[in-house]
């Protein structure tokens, strides 16, 4: 789990903010300009750009300039770290619940045989 900690800190901090989650959700449907992404939010463009820079710095999105317009694109590979961590957590918790099930079943069997 330590191998993921630094990367996951940035990942979960990025996802902790509703504005950034909404931007990622919108980019899931395809690339969009900064203006399109900022339109639903009641905030100044410089404040919105902090969210874009954060997503870009943590590897969730890339941006490219086309003329005077900056286009943002989701980086699907950024989900790999989360998936790997969640898979590891799922494996750990499934093993724990399997042991608990075994304990309960064994205890019930012992009680029934008394």
Q: Lowest-confidence range among 4-8, 9-13, 65-69, 89-93?
A: 4-8
Average pLDDT of the chain is: 87
Tens of pLDDT, residue by residue over 6-59, are 677 878 888 899 999 999 999 999 999 999 999 999 999 999 999 999 999 988
Q: Is the pTM of this model over 0.95?
A: no
Tens of pLDDT, residue by residue over 75-89, are 988 788 788 888 888
Q: Indicate the number of domains in the chain.
A: 1
- pLDDT the model gives residue 41: 96
Tell me the residue range of the domain where 80 lies. 2-112
d(CA 82, CA 4): 9
Query: What CATH number has the domain bearing residue 82?
Result: 1.10.10.10
């Amino acid at each position: 789990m330590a191998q993921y900690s630094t990367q996951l800190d940035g990942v979960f901090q990025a996802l902790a903010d509703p504005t950034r989650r909404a931007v990622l959700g919108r980019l899931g449907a395809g690339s969009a300009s900064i203006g399109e992404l900022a339109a639903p939010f009641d905030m100044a463009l410089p404040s919105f750009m902090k969210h874009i820079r954060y997503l870009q710095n943590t590897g969730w999105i890339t941006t490219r300039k086309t003329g005077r317009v900056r286009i943002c694109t989701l980086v699907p590979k950024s989900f790999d770290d989360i998936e790997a961590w969640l898979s590891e957590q799922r494996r750990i918790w499934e093993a724990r619940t399997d042991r608990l099930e075994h304990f309960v079943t064994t205890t019930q069997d012992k009680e029934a045989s008394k």
